């Protein structure tokens, strides 16, 4: 191996062997302090520091403690057991901007012994596999999408389980709630773990984690029955014992539910009082930034075994997180239950304190659920399903109140509402749906306003209730206009489309027409998505990218494409409908040539723009071919309104899917 004289520190890829591949990363630590005795150029470049020899690992890389790298090296030093890692995510502080950069490594950490056989240090040999991991993850995402479109029969069990688990967790003004579910490593059959969160009266929330023995259709179906029974009893009574007793009665009738375990905790979000009941299940863990404590089990046995159930009490302070979990996180290979229990508490504490991976978009409960899984499971693997459910108290964000001139309300309203929803940790589906609904309503308000008087205004109010229901009112001071009918000179094909889209994005839409204006009220129950993970995501970092909408709309020509094609980026709202129409006419030569419109980068798709897409798809000899990949904003809207489009790139070979 030879060093490249022009290599820059921090870029391990500049050090390559004669084959052109990145050279091995070599480092040797000595003594109990893990002081660097030797390091090659590739290691110095990888960590971005030329002055490492003679300094301790904790001094050089304080962030590696929370990432479980230094504890891993200490374990090799203490036990003499070699540690092998594949595709481990490592974050390293960048001295340039003080931020953290992600890298991935394959490594072997081996004990270094003196002449008498005593372990006196640790030698590490690694390879930077960052680019390989990123390519593999991209391929996995493409494969997962192709598999999702083809819906193979072998996935029916996993699909059943995902359908039976809650589609999301309630978004509450006084609580943050997150969950992660990781299926067993062995086999592809669904398991019997489940989680749930049920808002209760009196600013309380019930949290449930349970475990049905076994895997496959029976376990998944039984889990669904138990979850439904307990959710119903909690919603009706708010009593954890009543809910467990109902599940216990079911377990006496359904053999597959016998000996299932469950933990139910009811948290008072105002004062932090906790009431919980465990039925053969591990007890809750209360985690702070410095310490963690396991609450005592309430003493009851599993369901269907004749146990008598009682409650225990505890308390969760504002700076603490309540964590419920299944025993898959404790019963990991190579760990005794006692050691795994201590390890879980330590890693969860680091996650609460932010000493693990830097994740600016994640809340504290998100960090506990994802980083705890990643940092523990990547060391040992796992043989059973793992479920984590975390909740913390918070001060409610204030209601949203806006009063604006109608002429400039659309962008301001969308931005303010998006920020308000983000402050409540609302899920991406809710942000997308409510932003579209409110933009349509403010556009209507502008059309109904009184331009002749010069005082046309729009008022927006948004409130989140304790049960997770959002109420948004959009009020104008104009006059209601009845929808023109065909034959009326004012009739347009897109009349009424905005309200129809708004109603589709809401649980309920109310319209109140008064003497001094119109108020449209949108009701929608908010939810945040739980993270249903794979082993690959855990090994390489379960990162959830935040959605950031740009306000600049751009139509970009793609001259290198094999077809006549444009791509649209940013919001396609009423302001841009005219520009879109002109571009479609120009690029289709008045509707005589086919045009592919790539809508992947669209962040908002309003009814006025939808009407233009409808019109140009139906007119002329060269209809539009709309491309909106699954999961995109455009796909969500176009599917809702049944406008045909393809979810696979029409200019690339491979399986396609046409929707609408």
The predicted model scores a pTM of 0.81
Of 538, 540, 567, which is closest to residue 554 (Cα–Cα)?
A: 567
Taking only the tens place, the pLDDT of each residue in 447-472 is 765 555 567 788 999 999 999 999 99
In this structure, which topology does domain 400-528 adopt according to CATH?
A: Heat Shock Protein 90 (3.30.565)
Q: Which range, 347-351, 376-380, 473-477, 546-550, has the best average confidence (pLDDT)? A: 347-351
**CATH number corresponding to 549-659:** 3.30.750.24
Q: Give Cβ neighbours of residue 514 (< 8 Å, ≥ 6 apart).
A: none
pLDDT score, position 17: 43
Residues of the chain with CATH 3.60.40.10: 165-393
Mean pLDDT of 532-549: 51
In which residue are the tokens 């609302």 written? 426
Cα–Cα separations (whole angstroms), residue 549 to 366, 422, 474, 570: 22, 12, 22, 7
Taking only the tens place, the pLDDT of each residue in 518-538 is 899 999 999 987 888 776 666
What is the H or E stretch that residue 134 is in?
A: helix 130-150
Q: Which residues of 284-300 are buried (b: 16+ CB within 10 A; e: fewer)?
A: bbbbbbeebeebebbeb
Mean pLDDT of 207-223: 88
pLDDT score, position 289: 97
**321-325 and 312-315: which strand pairing?**
unpaired
Q: What percent of the chain has pLDDT over 70?
A: 83
Strand partners, 460: 402, 474
pLDDT score, position 574: 73
Q: Do residues 448 and 478 touch, judged by C-beta distance below 8 A?
A: yes
pLDDT score, position 423: 93
Q: How far apart are CA 216 and CA 385, in angstroms?
A: 12
**CATH number corresponding to 165-393:** 3.60.40.10
pLDDT at 191 over 90: no
Residues of the chain with CATH 3.30.450.20: 12-128
Q: Do residues 276 and 284 touch, judged by C-beta distance below 8 A?
A: yes
Q: How far apart are CA 374 and CA 506, in angstroms?
A: 36
pLDDT grade for 148, boundaries at 50, 70 and 90: low
pLDDT score, position 481: 57
**CATH number corresponding to 12-128:** 3.30.450.20
Mean pLDDT of 584-607: 86
Of 100, 102, 101, 90, which is closest to residue 57 (Cα–Cα)?
A: 90
Cα–Cα separations (whole angstroms), residue 308 to 131, 275, 276, 297, 617: 55, 16, 14, 13, 66
Q: Where are the alpha helices (DSSP H) in 107-216?
A: 130-150, 156-164
The tokens of 621 are what? Answer: 């000899």
Residues of the chain with CATH 3.30.565.10: 400-528
Cβ atoms within 10 Å, residue 6: 6
Q: Do residues 659 and 647 touch, judged by C-beta distance below 8 A?
A: yes
Q: How far apart are CA 554 and CA 545, in angstroms?
A: 22
CA 575 to chain CA centroid, Å, is 31
Q: Do residues 88 and 381 touch, judged by C-beta distance below 8 A?
A: no
What is the H or E stretch that residue 191 is in?
A: strand 191-200
Residue 97 DSSP class? T
Taking only the tens place, the pLDDT of each residue in 329-356 is 998 888 888 999 999 999 999 999 999 9
Instruction: Please calculate the CA angle 141-146-151 and round it to the nearest 5 degrees.
Output: 120
Decide which of 610 and 421 is more confident: 421
pLDDT grade for 510, boundaries at 50, 70 and 90: very high
pLDDT grade for 268, boundaries at 50, 70 and 90: very high
Q: Do residues 579 and 586 touch, judged by C-beta distance below 8 A?
A: no
| Phi/psi at 303 (5° precision) | -70, 145
Residue 515 DSSP class? T
Taking only the tens place, the pLDDT of each residue in 32-64 is 999 999 999 999 999 999 999 999 999 999 999
pLDDT at 303 over 90: yes
Taking only the tens place, the pLDDT of each residue in 96-113 is 667 899 999 999 999 999
pLDDT at 19 over 80: no
Taking only the tens place, the pLDDT of each residue in 364-420 is 999 999 999 999 998 888 888 899 999 999 999 999 999 988 776 788 898 999 999
pLDDT score, position 536: 66
Residues found in the chain: 660
Residues of the chain with CATH 3.30.750.24: 549-659
pLDDT at 255 over 50: yes
Of 474, 452, 292, 440, which is closest to residue 372 (Cα–Cα)?
A: 292
Range of weakest confidence among 331-335, 361-365, 481-485: 481-485
The tokens of 23 are what? Answer: 């050279």
Torsional sign, CA 206, 164, 188, 543: negative
Strand partners, 431: none
Give the chain's mean pLDDT: 84
Query: Is residue 313 classed as helix, strand or coil in its secondary structure?
Result: strand
pLDDT score, position 334: 84
């Amino acid at each position: 191996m030879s060093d490249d004289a022009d290599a820059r520190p921090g870029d391990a890829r500049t050090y390559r062997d004669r084959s052109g591949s990145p050279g091995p990363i070599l480092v040797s630590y000595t003594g109990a302090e893990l002081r660097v005795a030797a390091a090659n150029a590739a290691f110095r470049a990888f960590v971005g520091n030329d002055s490492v020899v003679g300094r301790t690992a904790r001094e050089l890389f304080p962030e590696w403690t929370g990432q479980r790298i230094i504890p891993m090296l200490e374990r090799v030093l203490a036990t003499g057991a070699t540690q092998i890692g594949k595709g481990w995510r490592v974050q390293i502080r960048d001295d340039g901007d003080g931020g953290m950069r992600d890298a991935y490594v394959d490594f072997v950490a081996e004990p270094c012994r003196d002449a008498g056989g005593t372990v006196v240090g640790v030698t590490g040999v690694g390879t930077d596999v960052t680019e390989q991991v990123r390519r593999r993850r991209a391929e996995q995402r493409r494969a997962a999408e192709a598999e999702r479109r083809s819906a193979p029969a072998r996935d029916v069990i996993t699909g059943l389980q995902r359908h039976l688990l809650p589609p999301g967790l309630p978004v509450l003004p006084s609580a943050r709630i997150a969950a992660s579910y990781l299926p067993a490593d062995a086999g592809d059959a669904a398991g019997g773990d489940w989680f749930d969160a049920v808002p209760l009266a009196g600013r309380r929330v019930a949290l449930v984690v349970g475990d049905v023995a076994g895997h496959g259709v029976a376990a998944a179906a039984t889990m669904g029955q138990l979850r439904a029974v307990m959710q119903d009893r909690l919603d009706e009574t708010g009593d954890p014992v009543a809910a467990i007793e109902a599940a216990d009665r079911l377990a006496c009738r359904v053999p597959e539910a016998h000996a299932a375990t469950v933990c139910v905790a009811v948290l008072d979000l105002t004062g932090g009082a906790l009431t919980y009941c465990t039925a053969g299940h591990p007890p809750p863990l209360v985690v702070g930034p410095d310490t963690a404590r396991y609450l005592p089990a309430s003493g009851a046995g599993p369901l269907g075994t004749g146990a008598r159930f009682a409650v225990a009490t505890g308390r969760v302070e504002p700076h603490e997180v309540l964590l419920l979990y299944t025993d898959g996180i404790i019963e990991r290979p190579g760990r005794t239950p006692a050691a795994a229990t201590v390890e879980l508490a330590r890693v969860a504490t680091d996650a609460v304190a932010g000493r693990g991976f830097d994740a600016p978009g994640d809340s504290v409960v998100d960090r506990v659920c994802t980083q705890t899984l990643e940092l523990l499971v990547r060391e040992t693997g796992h043989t059973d399903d793992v479920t984590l459910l975390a909740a913390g108290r918070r001060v409610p964000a204030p209601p949203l109140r806006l009063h604006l001139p109608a002429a400039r309300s659309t962008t301001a309203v969308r931005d303010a509402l998006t920020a308000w929803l983000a402050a409540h940790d609302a899920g991406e589906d809710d942000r997308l749906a409510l932003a579209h609904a409110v933009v349509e309503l403010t556009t209507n308000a502008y059309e109904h306003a009184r331009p002749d008087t010069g005082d046309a205004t729009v008022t927006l109010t948004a409130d989140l209730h304790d049960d997770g229901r959002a109420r948004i009112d959009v009020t104008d001071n104009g006059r209601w206009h009845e929808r023109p009918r065909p034959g009326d000179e004012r009739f347009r094909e897109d009349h009424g489309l905005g309200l129809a889209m708004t109603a589709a994005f809401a649980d309920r839409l109310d319209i109140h027409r008064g003497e001094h204006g119109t108020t449209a009220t949108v009701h929608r129950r908010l939810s945040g998505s739980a993270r249903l993970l794979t082993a690959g995501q855990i090994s390489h970092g379960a990162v959830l990218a935040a959605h950031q909408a740009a306000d600049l709309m751009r139509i970009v020509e793609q001259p290198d494409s094999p077809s006549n094609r444009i791509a649209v980026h940013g919001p396609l709202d009423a302001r841009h409908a005219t520009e879109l129409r002109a571009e479609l006419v120009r690029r289709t030569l008045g509707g005589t040539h086919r045009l592919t419109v790539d809508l992947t980068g669209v962040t908002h798709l309003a009814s006025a723009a939808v009407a233009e897409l409808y019109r140009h798809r139906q007119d002329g000899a060269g209809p539009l071919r709309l491309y909106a990949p699954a999961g995109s904003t455009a796909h969500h809207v176009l599917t809702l309104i049944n406008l045909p489009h393809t979810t696979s790139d029409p200019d690339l070979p491979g399986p396609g899917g046409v929707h609408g």
